[in-house]
Structure 1
Amino acid sequence: MMHWGKTKLQKLLLILVGIWILWLLCEQTLHWYRKGRIKLKDTGRPVHSVVQTDIHESVHSSFPPLPIHKESTVHLTVEKETKDPATSTLDNNRTEAYSPGTCIKGFVQRKFRESMPRFDPDMHLFITNNFRKWGVLGKYSKGLPFDFSHSNLFRLNTLLKLLPTTWRPVIKSDSGCRRCLVLGNSGALLDKGLGRVIDGYDVVIRMNDAPVKGYESDVGSRTDFRFFYPESSTLNQADLDSGTYYVVVMYKSNDLNWLQAVLTKVKPTGQFWKGVAQKLDIDPAQFLILNPQVLHVAARDVRLQGRWPTTGLIATTFALHYCDVVDLAGFGYGSSIFNHYYERDKTGGLPAGGTQHNGTVEKEYLIRLLDEGVISHDLTGVYKNSSKTRFSRMEKSTS
């Protein structure tokens, strides 16, 4: 009787061991499959989930409401090799075939912190009524562009009363992970046919008065954030979009006056280095005021040597704090590239920008972020090619 019981126990143990081995084999097979080729489906459109709430002291809690985009959803289904974004920046990247890839929550923040230990993922990106509680503004007497002076803060209080503060949307992908594309205005965008690819990102960031209408096949049709300052606010009426946030970058005190004039629909006054928009038919809920600390961080990290960051660098700095994966397109200039995709002019290098910016240092900084995998892709290839050339020279010098 005892022998029969012992035999039965041994059989039971063998069955359990067999089940365990089978489970391990299935798990390993599933792991191999996931590492192989998979189909990724992208809705090509962010979801604006609007909820009524009080303003929280969070980096993403200061947005006013926007209506849901009216355009139809674009579906892109592509075959794609799954790769770690950290190791894919120097791979062969054919822009014609590229489509937004997988998204890893918090990927950019982790990668960026490796190269920039002072990186603060909780920095407030936009100014809200709670800005005095932050305790970081108004400390520098010089004021704008890197901080608000005491007089700026007083005028800011008046300005914020013109902006709604009780609603906020959340821009997200279906997975809750933000894949962002920062879109420069270089002529490198021409004839690439990247329009559908650009519209496939969760967040599309444009800058200044770069037009969209008439260029959709190369630059896409969607805009989630548009960064600009008064002198670059002369947007064509056809390019104003009810589904876009207009992020005002302030370089000087007169910029506060300009925004207040636009919101109250009066003629702007003050000194500007070129013509500014006299009015913008945009709902006040679509305006956001960029925290000048973003400019301060950009200038500090890039070491601009007393120069001001360009709109492109500012938008990229914002994306590195706001997004989970960041790609670039339309960055880079050269003798064979138009300065802007919407203008047929060339200067043989960086476009004229006065002495306020340091385009060479900014370029090297962005190439470095591509090298380190913080920025995953350069869709138009100018900075990517520069990165590959630099690596080739480094390899030759060490061989």
Structure 2
Amino acid sequence: MALQTSRIFSLLFVIAVAIVLLILSWGYLSTSISWTAFSENNRHQDEDSLLKSYIELWVKKGNSTHPPAVFTTTHKAKIADSTKTNQVTKLKTDQMRASTHGAVAETPIPVLLKKSFKKLPQWDFEDVYNQDAPPRQTTCAQSLRNSEDESFKKAFLPNIRLFLHKNNFNMSEWNRLSHFNNPFGFMEYQYNDMMSSLKMIPKPKEPLLLPKPGNGGCVRCAVVGTGGILNGSKMGKEIDAHDYVFRMNGAAIKGYEEDVGNRTSVYVHTAHSITMSLYLFKKYGYTSAPHDEGIKYVMIPEGVGDFNWLEGLLKGERVSAGPYHNKRPWTYYGGQYNESRFYVLHQDFLRYVRNRFLKSAHLNNSYWAIVRPTNGAFALFLALHTCDTVSAYGFMTEDYKKYSNYYVEKNIKTHVVFYANHDYILEMNLWKKLHNSKIMRLYQRTDSETGTEKPKQL
């Protein structure tokens, strides 16, 4: 009898242990990695290797328990029309709900590696973006925001979050953005390596642009590229007649005013472009980035070097690490650097431009991770989101073979250089499409030698 009772208690104990293990397993499954973030094309080839990488990395960090619930950042996000609802808010709400079911404190996810993907990975929240509400209101009758072009209206997010700063960044954002390669996110970056600079980026004290009085509420902008089409164009006065003028990269002005104007309101750059332009264009008279009084500088955070640059700039110290080690960033802004007039583009804005307007077929190739829109493309879309009317000068047109690569090349005829990290033809076709849809005006020459388009009345 005693033996039978002992066996019964042993059986009950085994059942109890099994129930406990089942409960723990259910809790793990409900808070661990959701692999639905892979597209069907990538799921089978990448899921096993990536899962293995996650587990190995987690074990290396000295953790004996299962990975934390923060992996729910890769949960199955329902992609709805993000022009109607802010899906990032929903994403964060879902994460908070997960944290109430026994989830551990949120920590950085293990680093994702670009080599784990044979082409651009597609997450369920790939097309989900932070948005600022409400969007800028305008009374301008000619505003591009009033466009009736259906494809543009569907893709365009008037209140997409433009700028990154310390007040809109936290651990959830780090983990979400760690799924995207630079400059669209922090894939391959270590949390501790980046936070010192991220925590320093100030919140902009004012909008990038404000309407000028007497324009019917319209903000009229010119975006000036460096293309050879401007050589001999005599577009300088027309460019300067706009309320604001955007420039980027090697924006040489002295000696070229008749063709490109002499005003700069917004200068868009990376650490690479602002430093290398001094070397590339020195022989054409270029001595520094534009530094008009009151100019606003906008930085594209292209890679880890840009964050090293930012930290040195914001601290007023030499860059302590990376490709710009020992450089003094503030000296590159001609005495016009001012923290209150310095902006850093948000990764969501950069990804939105790529995904909705310039998604190149090259992203399906093995070199996908280096493919991104040009600095000129980002500058042009920044203008489209901050201005009512936009005119683009010095951008690639269908007759690009007639012109030199840069407008500074006056005495020689060079060829346009196609770098592997940009899809120039895709961009050229988009500029033409936006022009034909009257969303912006693209400057195109009618005579490659001496004639130009008849200037439009501003």
Shorter-chain-normalised TM-score: which range? 0.5 to 0.7
Partner of 2:351: 296
Matched residue, 2:29: none
- SS of the residue 2:147 aligns to: helix
TM-score normalised by structure 2 residue count: 0.54
Tell me, which stretches of 5 or more residues in structure 1 are unaligned? 1-55, 62-101, 389-399
- Report the secondary structure of 1:121's partner residue: coil
What secondary structure is seen at the aligned counterpart in 1 of 2:166? coil
Q: Structure 1 pair 181/166, CA: closer, same or farther in 2 (3 Å)?
A: closer
1:155 is the counterpart of 2:206:
no
5+ residue gaps in structure 2?
A: 1-131, 279-286, 364-370, 454-458
Partner of 1:371: 436
Counterpart pick for 1:173 among 212, 225, 228: 212
The answer on whether the counterparts of 2:228 and 2:406 sit within 8 Å (CA) in structure 1 is yes
Separation in 2 of the partners of 1:115 and 1:343? 35
Paired residue for 2:183?
145
AA in 1 matched with 2:424? G
| Pairing of 1:107-146 with structure 2 (within 5 A) | 107-108=144-145, 110-111=147-148, 114-132=151-169, 138-140=175-177, 141-146=179-184
Cα distance in 1, alignment partners of residues 423 and 181 from structure 2: 21
- In the alignment, the residues of structure 2 paired with residue 381 and residue 182 of structure 1 have an alpha-carbon distance, to the nearest angstrom, of 20
Q: Do the aligned partners of residues 381 and 247 (structure 1) sit closer, same or farther apart at CA in structure 2, a change above 3 Å counting?
A: farther
Equivalent in the alignment of 1:83: none
Instruction: Give 1:343's aligned residue.
Output: 409
**What is the Cα deviation at residue 245 of structure 1?**
0.9
Distance 1:275 1:189 in 2: 36
Q: 1:329 to 1:381 in 2, by over 3 A?
A: farther
Does residue 257 of structure 1 match 2:298?
Answer: no
Separation (CA, whole Å) in 2 of partners of 1:152 and 1:105: 45
Report the 3-state secondary structure (helix = DSSP H, G, I; strand = E; otherwise coil) of the residue aligned with 2:247: strand
Q: For residues 134 and 191 of structure 2, what CA distance do their matches in structure 1 show?
A: 23
Amino acid at match of 1:142: F
Aligned residue number for residue 50 of structure 1: none
Query: Would you say the 8 A contact 1:223–1:243 is kept in 2?
Result: no
What's the counterpart of residue 190 of structure 1?
231
- The 2-side partners of 1:152 and 1:302 are apart by 29
Q: Say whether the 8 Å CA contact 1:335–1:347 is kept in structure 2.
A: no
SS of 2:176's equivalent in the other structure is coil
Which stretch has the larger CA shift, 366-375 or 335-344? 335-344
Distance in 2, Cα, partners of 1:381 & 1:136: 48
**Residues 312, 328 of structure 2: 8 Å contact kept:** no
How many pairs align?
Answer: 287
In terms of fraction of residues, the more strand-rich structure is 1
* Structure 1 letter corresponding to 2:375: T
CA deviations over 1:198-239 (Å, ceiling 9, x no partner):
111112110113122222221112111111111111363473
CA drift at 1:257: 0.7
| CA pair 181-135 structure 1, distance change in 2 beyond 3 A | farther
Note if contact 1:233-1:277 (Cα within 8 Å) is conserved in structure 2.
no
Q: Is the Cα–Cα contact under 8 Å of residues 213 and 238 in structure 1 kept in the other structure?
A: no
Residue 209 of structure 1 aligns to a residue in which SS?
Answer: coil
Shift of 1:242: 2.6
1:201–1:134 distance in 2 versus 1, CA, 3 Å:
farther
The structure with more helix, counted as a fraction of residues: 2
Amino acid at match of 2:342: F
Matches within 5 A, 1:305-384: 305=361, 306=363, 307-332=371-396, 334-344=400-410, 346-348=413-415, 350-353=416-419, 355-378=420-443, 380=445
Shift of 1:346: 4.4
> 2:432 and 2:439 mapped to 1: Cα distance?
10
The superposition leaves residues 361-384 of structure 1 with CA deviations (integer Å, 9 ceiling, x where unpaired) of 11111111112221234265699x
Change (3 A) 1:118 1:188: closer
Mark the CA change 1:156 to 1:313 in structure 2 (over 3 Å): closer, same or farther.
Answer: farther
Going from structure 1 to structure 2, the CA distance change for 1:292 and 1:152 (only over 3 Å counts) comes to farther
Cα displacement string for residues 18-53 of structure 1 (whole angstroms, at most 9, x for unaligned residues): xxxxxxxxxxxxxxxxxxxxxxxxxxxxxxxxxxxx
Query: Is the 2:319–2:325 contact (alpha carbons within 8 Å) kept by the matching residues of 1?
Result: no
Equivalent residue for 1:19?
Answer: none
1:302–1:166 distance in 2 versus 1, CA, 3 Å:
closer
Given the superposition, is the C-alpha separation of residues 139 and 368 from structure 1 closer, same or farther in structure 2, using an over 3 Å criterion?
Answer: same
Which of these residues, 249, 261, 268, is aligned with residue 220 of structure 1?
261
CA shift for structure 1 position 60: 6.2
Q: Tell me how far apart the structure 1 counterparts of residues 224 and 182 of structure 2 sit (CA, whole Å).
A: 25
Provide the rounded CA distance (Å) in 1 between the counterparts of 2:174 and 2:387. 24
Q: TM (normalized to structure 1)?
A: 0.62
Q: In the alignment, residue 323 of structure 1 is paired with which amino acid?
A: C
Determine what percentage of the aligned residue pairs are the same residue. 25
Of the two, which has the highest radius of gyration? 2
SS of the residue corresponding to residue 315 of structure 1 reads: helix
Kept in 1: contact 2:136–2:159 (CA 8 A): no
- The CA distance in 1 between the partners of 2:149 and 2:319, in whole Å, is 40
